Amino acid sequence: MTRTRLLFIAIVVCAARPVVSEERIDYARDIRPVLKTYCFQCHGEAKQKAEINLEALDAERSFLRHFKLWKRVRKKLDSREMPPEKNIQPTDRERLLISNWLQQSTQNIDWSKVKHAGHITLPRLSHVEYSNSLRDLLNWNIDLADRFPDDVIGQTGFSTDRDDLAIRGPLLERYLDVADSVLNEFVRSDSPVTTTKIEAENFKTNMTDHPKWGQMIGNDEHAIHTYFVVENSGYYELTVRAWHYRKSLAHLTGMRVLVNDMPAAETAILATQKKPGDYKVLVKLSEGRQKISIARSTVVATEEEFRLPRPPKPEFTNRRTAYDFNPYIAAAIDYIEIKGPLKQLPSGALTLTGKKTDSTPELEAQWQLMRLTKTKLQALEKVAESKARAEGVKYKKKNIYDQLLESGLNPYIVNRFNKYYVPPSNENDTRPLPDKFTGTIWLHPFSRVKFTPAPDSHHVFTAKPGLGLVSKQLAAKIILKQFASRAFRRRVTDVELDQLLGPCNVMLKEGKPFRSSVQSSLLATLVSPHFLFRPEQGPVDEKDHKLTPYELASRLSYFLWMSIPDDELTKAAADGRLVDDEVLLRQIDRMLKDSKSTSFTQQFPRQWLGYYELGRNIQPSSKVFPEFTDDLVHAMIGETDTFFRQLIIENRPLTDLIDSDYTYLNETLSKHYGIGNVHGDRFLKVPTRVDRGGGVLGMASVLTTSSSHPARTSPVSRGNWILLKLFGEALPEPPNVPPLPREAGTATSKLSFRESFELHRRDPSCAACHRRIDPLGFGLENYDSLGRWRTTIGGKPIEASGVLPTGEAFASPSELRAVLMKKKDQIMTNIIRQMMKFALGRELEYYDEPVVMSILIELKKNGYRSNTLIRQIVLSYPFQHKNRSKDATHD
Amino acid sequence: MTKSTRISRRAVLKGVGAALPLPFLDAMSSSSIAAPGSQKPPTRFACLYMPNGAYPANWNIDGKGGVDYKLSPILKPLEDVRDYVMPISNLDHGKKPTNHQPMVNDYLTANGNSIDIMIANQIGDATRYPYILLGTEPAMGGAKFICSTITRQNHRPIAPELHPQTVFDRLFQKSGKTKVHKFKSVLDVTLEQNKALARKVGRLDRNKLDQYSTSIREVETRLDRILNPEESKRWKSPSWNPSSLMPRPASIPDHKDVHTELMLDLMLLAFWTDNTRVSTMMFGNESLNRGFEFLDGVTADHHVTSHWDKKGSKLFKQYTTIGHWHVQKLRSLMKKMQTIDEGGSTLLDHSLILFGSCMGDGMRHKHNNLPIVLAGKAGGRFKPGRHLVESPGTSHDNMLLSTLNVMGVDAKRFGSSTGTLHL
């Protein structure tokens, strides 16, 4: 027996589930009779349901060959799916006996004989990978992931699961549309900035013109509008020249600018005819015909605005003004100007990155206003109606504004419609208008626009026709050869290149412009199976083969960057240096330090620990926890993201995930925990408080994600979470869960929360699993549903003590962490498995077990340093080899 | 302040409303301007999925089948459309009560394909999209992903679309001829490269490339149809008027009720404009701890309330309320369908709607007495307006088989079906 095998068995034994009997189980004596009684009638010589014949298997000699089948048997038995309900059922003891025998046999496998690369189903890029790849191909900071429906999270628990990444149904259309629109903007980024002026008299309206003043501006339905054809998508500066000439005592004249019937900005107009205002807003326009409208709006102004002098009488020299039909307030529009596509953000322009820090109360109100749809009002009305019905009172259509207020709408909006503030009059004021109300005035855009500077397309358009004797066809070929090689992550073949150039050459023959002709071939590259998939071809046999250097570079780069390899990595692959482990290790270090590795350091922990679901499918009750805001979600996710990223970058021990004396907080979370005194949005390293502790179990992201009940903590689901996510052990789901009494855990309950659980656990069929998970979950009871520290619940002190079935006792979260620390090798084994699954994009098979174990040995040797794990995975046999078949052929 | 300075609140609000989604509901009854289509209106299939079962005591209908039956409390909202609905009692899923995943997995599916896909394969080639899948809750991770989808194609779940904006764009985005020609020439290359690649990869990978090839051909067919609209078999509803179109939705509404209505409106639009004839909508994910707090008296989430059986707890009341909300949404879709004229009859007359859940009583994950309602008239091929009582234990697959047959899929068996319903 080899040394590896000895060590391996030792580890498996300590990682094993508790075995009831230590006695050796004999197949012929103990197991076969049981199988004969319950299984052989359907899965034996007489009948082979599902083509399974257990009777024919020689479990003594060929256990390994049928390893997968036996694993399935164990799963079916454990989940009680088999035998079928209508058949006689084995006793619990018999089920356990089989389970233990299977485990014992697994331990006796001679793993040194097992070596197989495994098969990774033809890897399609996940949407994150697709977005990153396009970003790096075009060297343009774009994020496209949200333009696709969510990728399936596969059996591995990760969205990199290649089994579930395919192109079916409407997805191809999406690839075409997204790539086409991105390329449009990219290819035409060299297009000049144009300015178009449209006079107000050329606007259309569905209202009758006024003989003297021109067109009237109505509300949204009767807005004046015009159409503008955008040649090149991008950001545009939209300017409206406007002024007001009459105002009432109570209102200001305002306008709302709409693009394609969606509000872009809104403002009061306080400039005058002599000193008109250029009201500007940044808008994103896509190629094609765009509708631009200006609608009247009424604005309740601040006191300062009301105290402004009255505007002078207007002079209407021609029919190019538009005015508000309300006789008491009036403003005029002279023209609009549309300038773009912008290469740089104009100075003074207001953008919104979508972060709270950019927000003002007024802006928040505007956003809410946008979402205030007619149906929403109807829904609110319905709610009020059903409420009235339930209370047995006649429903009276309430003042809609009261309903809005009740619905939690920002009072700013409600006031805007409801309360009319009347400031003192200023009839004879002749002061000049302050400058801030005239001239260029940038408006806050309604929707959150994040300005991305225009890309530089020179690194893609590496050749220009006409220089020297370069023909258009040749220039296109030079461009495509380089682009497709980067996109395909290898040298593109001549045949492929000719195919890709097809659309371009057709367009060139038709006399189309050079750049847009090339664009069609760039598009062909981006929907090619060689780009959307990462094919790893090889000989047609079913043996293990070493990856080509290009394939290895590609696997490495999709593991650590979730994107295409860069020039340096490609070069190392091209000249064959990458097969040298030293070179490979240096590349890993370099890649981890690059900010592109953020995708990996975010996606891996988010999907492994599940906290990407926060604010998505995990929504604690908004009634009980109104403090669960977007801002808090952002902070919770940020803490764990940052912690994990620093763990990797600083090469810290992975055991920090179990317990640590530091964490990373921003202002929101610092206040939420009551720890540290952090200001601002950035996450800073902060020492943890001794009682509260560190590691992922001290993080609000994990504590909220793992506690599935919307209104209180759920120790059961937290305990289950620890087993599943930290130890990698999935318990069968109970067929039925009698719920706790409703008042459990509240102040009115006679029993404490914990006592009601004990009651719940008396049922012996429940106890088997609950004695394993409940103590773990109760050990975290000091953290409330949102991960805040507490010492009492419903007035009673927290009892965070527990004893695990394996005997370890603890009395507080910190002691629980100490217990988990003692089991760190089990947890580390799981982390190795999880990261291997993420990196390979496939489920682990039995032949991967020796690899997992040898990585654990390396980890222990190196103090569990995070980079050791990443290096060992990259150096491992399955990462560097490929096979066409999933199943190993050996005896 | 004089009275006339005051701008009517209603007017201001109306102004707001107009810029924002859904004035099209008002426009719906507007008289037609388009010439009536020459063909007969096609039959549409809608599948509405309610997760977590329904409270049996308030779902089950007392008494025998037939026309004179009394709607149960949860089904009460269907009173004014009762001529168009047929609740079915005693259907049985036949699966052992385990966890949610296997039950939802087989709800619409046998042998790897769900009936919406099978129907789309039969009738979907006439429209721009063979089917449209809608939902309001994001996919769940890991093994629970299954709980977020009921549609299956070749054993693979297909996730629904949550963004109203994306659905809207897919329905109404126009493709110019230049773009279509460009896409076509690009896809020629893609197909060629895909075929070449498929010859070089192993058996396990070829399947994926075959799926890609199928996808490429589907898109090519659609592009051809844009270039040759006269060949289109698309139905032009006489009542359709482009001004009926709602503005492009901005984002996902934060209120579940509003989001749901919006998605149902999009389904309606897709049927009305014959962009598709098959659409499935998931009201929510199975076994998800997410609240219905906007409903009066509801404090726990749908899944928790479905385990209602505890002395002293009033969870069954909440469970009922949530079931009631789902039925209201069914009614809402039906009422809207009724307002769409298709030349003397309505969209509802030409639709078949399957509403239901993969479990009966959520308390014990019961597989029997599933809450199922069929609605609409399927162009006269289906006669609603009664309560259908099958014998206890009748396979749920019988109902799915009948549904397939009504929708023109010529199948003799489906899953473990033992026959069809006694329609």
Amino acid at the residue A592:
L
Residue ranges of the alpha helices (H) in B127-176?
164-172
Chain A touched by B301 (CB under 8 Å): yes
Q: Give tens-digit pLDDT for A421-451.
A: 334 445 566 677 888 888 898 887 766 667 7
Q: Chain A window 325-354: which residues touch B at a Cβ cutoff of 8 Å?
A: 326, 328
pLDDT of residue A470: 82
**Confidence band (pLDDT; 50, 70, 90) for B4?**
very low
Tell me the C-alpha to C-alpha distance, in Å, between residue B222 and each of A284, A529, B159, B175: 29, 20, 22, 11
CB B373 within 8 A of CB B85: yes
Chain B touched by A885 (CB under 8 Å): yes
Which residues on neighbouring strands pair with residue B373, listed in sequence order? Answer: B87, B355
Strands (E), B190-349: 278-282
Distance (Å) from the alpha carbon of A381 to chain B's nearest alpha carbon = 12
Q: Which two tokens stand for residue A796?
A: 């009673």
Q: Give tens-digit pLDDT for A747-756.
A: 445 566 677 6
**Confidence band (pLDDT; 50, 70, 90) for A681?**
confident
What is the interface size between A and B, counted as CB pairs within 8 Å? 297
pLDDT at A106 over 50: yes
To the nearest whole percent, how much of chain A has pLDDT over 90? 40
How many whole angstroms separate alpha carbon B89 and alpha carbon B111?
25
- With vertex at residue A78, the alpha carbon angle to CA A72 and CA A79, rounded to the nearest 5 degrees, is 90
The CA dihedral of A529, A531, A536, A541, to the nearest 10 degrees, is 10
How many whole angstroms separate alpha carbon A584 and alpha carbon A573?
10
* Least confident segment among A251-260, A552-561, B68-77, B128-137: A251-260
* Least confident segment among A124-138, A402-416, A549-563, B404-418: A402-416
Chain B touched by A400 (CB under 8 Å): yes
How many whole angstroms separate alpha carbon A108 and alpha carbon A5?
10
Residue in A closest to B160 by C-alpha: A149
Q: Give tens-digit pLDDT for A571-628.
A: 999 999 999 999 999 999 999 999 999 999 999 999 999 999 898 888 888 778 888 9
Average pLDDT, chain A: 82
DSSP A38: H
Q: Give tens-digit pLDDT for A202-247.
A: 888 877 777 766 777 877 677 889 999 888 888 899 999 998 887 6
Q: Which two tokens stand for residue A29?
A: 């004596």
Amino acid at the residue A212:
K
Chain B touched by A153 (CB under 8 Å): yes
Residue with tokens 């039959």: B43
Most B CBs within 10 A among A127, A219, A708, A721, hence the mutation to make, goes to A219
Q: Which two tokens stand for residue A881?
A: 């080899």
Q: Give tens-digit pLDDT for B25-48.
A: 222 222 223 333 447 899 999 999
pLDDT at A416 over 60: no
Distance (Å) from the alpha carbon of A809 to chain B's nearest alpha carbon = 31
CB A683 within 8 A of CB A664: yes
Chain A touched by B392 (CB under 8 Å): no
CB A85 within 8 A of CB B96: yes
Please list, in sequence order, all residues whose beta carbon lies within 8 angstroms of the beta carbon of residue A450, skipping any fewer than 6 positions away.
Answer: A351, A352, A353, A354
Decide the pairing of beta strands A330-340 and A194-199: antiparallel
pLDDT at B180 over 50: yes
pLDDT at A478 over 60: yes
pLDDT of residue B27: 26
Facing B304 at nearest CB: one of A166, A250, A739: A739
DSSP A722: I
Amino acid at the residue B59:
W
pLDDT at A712 over 90: no
Q: Give tens-digit pLDDT for A57-83.
A: 877 777 777 877 887 787 777 767 778
Report for A20-34, A155-169, A360-374, B323-337: range of highest mean pLDDT: B323-337
**Confidence band (pLDDT; 50, 70, 90) for B409?**
very high
pLDDT of residue A10: 40
pLDDT at A314 over 80: no
Most A CBs within 10 A among B7, B155, B359, hence the mutation to make, goes to B7
pLDDT of residue B124: 83
Q: Give tens-digit pLDDT for B378-397.
A: 999 999 999 999 999 899 99
Q: Mean pLDDT across the stretch A710-727? A: 91
Q: Chain A window 249-268: which residues touch B at a Cβ cutoff of 8 Å?
A: 249-251, 256, 258, 260-263
Which residues on neighbouring strands pair with residue A303, listed in sequence order? Answer: none
Count of CB atoms within 10 A of residue B179's CB? Answer: 18
pLDDT at B10 over 50: no
Facing A739 at nearest CB: one of B166, B209, B307: B307
Does the distance separating the beta carbons of A85 and B364 come in below 8 Å?
no
pLDDT of residue B104: 87
To the nearest whole percent, how much of chain B has pLDDT over 70? 85
Q: Mean pLDDT across the stretch A510-517? A: 92
Tell me the C-alpha to C-alpha distance, in Å, between residue B281 and each of A337, B48, B53: 44, 5, 16
Count of CB atoms within 10 A of residue B370's CB? Answer: 25
Count of CB atoms within 10 A of residue A381's CB? Answer: 15
Contacts of A85 in chain B (CB under 8 A): 96
Q: Which two tokens stand for residue A853?
A: 């174990």
Chain A touched by B15 (CB under 8 Å): yes
How many whole angstroms separate alpha carbon B47 and alpha carbon B280?
5
CB A739 within 8 A of CB B313: yes
What ipTM goes with this model?
0.75
Distance of CA A866 to the CA centre of its chain: 24
Facing A370 at nearest CB: one of B250, B309, B364: B250
Does the distance separating the beta carbons of B254 and A372 come in below 8 Å?
no
Q: Which two tokens stand for residue A596?
A: 């592109």
Chain B touched by A79 (CB under 8 Å): yes
pTM above 0.90, yes or no: no
**Confidence band (pLDDT; 50, 70, 90) for A349?**
confident
pLDDT at A762 over 90: no
Farthest-apart Cα atoms in chain B, separation: 83
pLDDT of residue A491: 95
Tell me the C-alpha to C-alpha distance, in Å, between residue A393 and each of A385, A404, A528, A673, B73: 10, 21, 65, 44, 20
pLDDT at B98 over 90: no
Does the distance separating the beta carbons of A400 and B13 come in below 8 Å?
yes
pLDDT at A189 over 80: yes
Amino acid at the residue B423:
L
Name the residue among B323, B269, B290 with its Cα closest to residue B147. B290
Name the residue among B132, B167, B166 with its Cα closest to residue B151. B132
Please list, in sequence order, all residues whose beta carbon lies within 8 angstroms of the beta carbon of residue B100, skipping any fewer than 6 positions away.
Answer: B52, B147, B286, B287, B358, B359, B365
